[in-house]
Amino acid sequence: MKLKNYALGQWVEGEGEGTPLYNAINGELVAHATSKGLDFKGMMEYARSVGSPALRKLTFHERARMLKALALYLNEKKDIFYKLSAATGAGKGDSWVDIEGGIGNLFVMSGKGRRELPNTPFHVDGKPEITSKNGTFIGQHICVPLEGVAVHINAFNFPCWGMLEKLAVNFLAGVPAIVKPATSTSYLTELMVQEIVKSNILPAGALQLICGSAGDILDHVDMQDVVTFTGSAQTGKMLKAHPKVIENSVRFNMEADSLNCCILGNDVTPDMEEFGLFIKEVSKELTTKAGQRCTAIRRTIVPEHLVEAVIDALKKRIATTKIGDPYVEGVRMGPLASRGQVADVREKVVQLKQTSEVVYGDLDNFEITGGDRERGAFFASMLLYNNKPFQNLDSHNIEAFGPVSTVMPYKTAADACALAKLGKGSLVGSIFTASDDFATEIVMGTAAYHGRLYIINRHSAGEATGHGSPLAHLVHGGPGRAGGGEEMGGVRGVFHYMQRTALQGSPTTLTAITQVYMPKAEQTEDIIHPFRKFFEDLKIGETLVTHKRTVTETDVVNFANISGDNFYAHTDVTSLEGSIFTSRVAHGYFVISAAAGLFVDPKKGPVLANYGLDELRFIKPVYVGATIGVRLTVKEKIYKDKREDEAAQGVVKWQVDVYDETGETVALATILTLVARREG
């Protein structure tokens, strides 16, 4: 069987026989892969001219609903992915992370897109910047989708998750993608893309696939494109230095294999729960996916007085892990992804043995259960010990990308930090300690060298997700050796595929462009109360100027009695000497409550409910005798997805500007209401 490429909206076989791909368990031929003959320039142009316009015209919410539909569809097909995933050597648990973990990324980003981003094709970033004395010339940042294509060059270890975690954010941003999985496991990626194409959920041009070499695709990138790479630091640096990437200032995000560490606190003793949790985590990271995770623990950093106890405990736990065909009962660790990986890991272990002692495992003598010893890609778990980690630096420079980790001692917390930093940048480091002081010292001493720090004690362990498990909500990446990039991180990852642009102009013009009311923009009034209008009928900048109300001493006393807020400035005028107040002052919450009494229309209408309060500032004291009024302005409208059990509605953000008899603002707030839509 020859894998097909998906290019220019069609499935295409590459020319020639291609590279043979083998089952990691038994060495049987799975498929051939080749991309020879593909029109890489044409693929880039197709994505830009067809996929990009189709995605960019959608709003964030429409893109998010697309992600959810795709996640639901793939979830129904997951059994066929599991079946083929076995050929990569992944056990059921490993495949779960790859397949359902990848689908989970789609679900997470779909939810975040609908909750945290507007129902527009662009994003208004931050608050307005008032850059003129009278506020007639202001600035506002917006983020718009790049008009190019995301080229994803992925690693072999997660053929599904590696693709989906990137697609989730570039699709949400409105950017099409060309996916180039690692050739050795590309057959699983191809199967998933086949199902994605069959679903007809994505617009034409949104997704293309290369099974085989990436050819000259980087020769055709330009300043609107994004290139992402996951894999070895050496390959990543080579791609990042491509002349077109440099010449066109192409955004390049690299997530490279790194020498991640796990630190056991010097407060921990072998009888403590944290010690057992540490041993369990290190051994799990050593054997999960046969150690083929970019986040795996390569350096196990322990207090020098606990070295023997740690090594003994790890040896006992690792010894219970049976190696072989992961689908045979009792087997806990499968093979590496390919025979090529076996040769590479073996070479790296031989190098590490020059400066570290092997305390568990053997390169040649180990048993397997099921599978083919000669044709499969099996490799035994190995634990090394570096007794002089500040002198023998191989452990901090050489990574064996398999079930291999090196134990190294430290004396003080400062030493532990120094050892962690010798990795020259990591995706993740973990800390197992019962001492918050120790955890703080390690975090402050190493955070600049890590993309993520995983801090575990007996209180957090029960719900902890694991040292090696990146989450869609949090940044995945790291400085230095880890590539210097960031992926995922909730909506942060989305903005990597967008251009942040500073707009400057009059508040009224920027309001029209952004559809968010800007300070001092033109306000319009209508004889119809805004609470009598449906969501569609409200206009940004529409303002209600209310009648006024004079604050009395009775108001202040009554509010104190009702609320129980007897702060001295409201209730005891004899205590004001030396304070910032000159006389009895009204409660701030009374002022905002009184403002609501001025602008709320009491009749039943399109406004369904108060939805919340985003911002509230008390700017000037309101004394007894002051007269207040309100300017209520439509600030922003957010379309809300209709649920089966509720009426069609949207969220309206209102600016509440409370001012006194001098015309000065005394309180400023943003309130939210649910407002019915005419439709549905």
User: What is the per-residue pLDDT across 86-110, written as a single tens digit (0 to 9) for each?
Assistant: 889 888 888 888 898 899 989 999 9
| C-alpha to C-alpha distances, 212 to 157, 163, 182, 190, nearest whole angstrom | 16, 15, 8, 11
Q: What is the CATH number of domain 523-676?
A: 3.10.129.10
Residue 292 identity: Q
Residue 107 identity: F
Span 80-90, average pLDDT: 89
Does the structure show a pLDDT above 90 at 337?
Answer: no
At 367 the pLDDT is 87
Report the C-alpha gap between 585 and 623 in whole angstroms. Answer: 4
Read off the pLDDT band of 64 (50, 70, 90).
very high
Residue 330 identity: G
Report the C-alpha gap between 262 and 268 in whole angstroms. Answer: 14
Residue among 255, 441, 487, 636 flagged as catalytic:
255
* Residue 255: active-site member: yes
At 440 the pLDDT is 94
At 58 the pLDDT is 95
Which tokens hold the place of 331?
């087997």
Residue among 294, 417, 487, 636 flagged as catalytic:
294
At 659 the pLDDT is 95
Span 423-443, average pLDDT: 93
For residue range 296-332, what is the model confidence (pLDDT) as tens digits?
999 999 999 999 999 999 999 998 988 888 888 888 8
Does the structure show a pLDDT above 90 at 124?
Answer: yes
Does the structure show a pLDDT above 80 at 117?
Answer: yes
Nearest to 108 by CA among 168, 53, 188, 173: 168
Span 433-460, average pLDDT: 93
Is CATH 3.40.309.10 what the domain over 260-470 is classified as, yes or no? yes
Read off the pLDDT band of 278 (50, 70, 90).
very high
Does the structure show a pLDDT above 80 at 579?
Answer: yes
Read off the pLDDT band of 680 (50, 70, 90).
low
CATH 3.40.605.10 residue ranges for the chain: 4-256+492-499
**Lowest-pLDDT choice from 96-110, 388-402, 461-475, 600-614:** 461-475
For residue range 160-177, what is the model confidence (pLDDT) as tens digits?
988 999 999 999 999 999
Q: Find out whether 487 and 228 touch, Cβ atoms under 8 Å.
A: yes
CATH 3.10.129.10 residue ranges for the chain: 523-676
Handedness of CA 279, 284, 290, 291 (dihedral sign): negative
At 206 the pLDDT is 96
Q: What count of other Cβ atoms lies within 10 Å of the Cβ of residue 146? A: 23
For residue range 628-663, what is the model confidence (pLDDT) as tens digits?
999 999 999 988 777 777 778 889 999 999 999 999
The whole-model pTM stands at 0.88
Q: Is 463 exposed, middle or buried (0-12, 13-18, 19+ CB in 10 A)?
A: exposed
CATH 3.40.309.10 residue ranges for the chain: 260-470
**Lowest-pLDDT choice from 1-5, 201-205, 410-414, 502-506:** 1-5
At 561 the pLDDT is 93
Which tokens hold the place of 628?
């207040």
At 578 the pLDDT is 86
Q: What is the CATH number of domain 4-256+492-499?
A: 3.40.605.10
Q: What average pLDDT does the structure give for the chain?
A: 91
At 89 the pLDDT is 84
In the chain, the percentage of residues whose pLDDT exceeds 90 is 64
Read off the pLDDT band of 511 (50, 70, 90).
very high
**Lowest-pLDDT choice from 59-63, 200-204, 232-236, 297-301:** 232-236
**Lowest-pLDDT choice from 90-99, 390-399, 405-414:** 90-99
